[in-house]
Amino acid sequence: MPYVTVKMLEGRTDDQKRALAEKVTAAVAETTGAPKENIHVIIEEMAKNNHSVAGTLSSDK
């Protein structure tokens, strides 16, 4: 039973997240042979003020 966690900054639409979940599920099913019904995709959204790159908060960009 594969579990896949995707962490990304907030701001994507439900349609974008739906498409991501569908494509990740398809890729995992294809590469592992696991049935789609057993694949779990967890999307964790991070607030932009809780993430930084090179010392700069994403909310400051």
Domain residue spans in the chain? 3-52
Q: Write out the H or E segment, with its range, that includes residue 29.
A: helix 14-32
Q: What is the pLDDT of residue 54?
A: 97
pLDDT for 17 equals 98
- Per-residue pLDDT at 19: 98
Give the model's pLDDT for residue 5: 98
Number of H helices and number of E strands within the chain? 1, 4
- Per-residue pLDDT at 46: 97
Question: Within the chain, which residues score under 70 in pLDDT?
Answer: none
Look up the CATH superfamily of 3-52. Answer: Macrophage Migration Inhibitory Factor (3.30.429.10)
- Residues classed as catalytic: 2
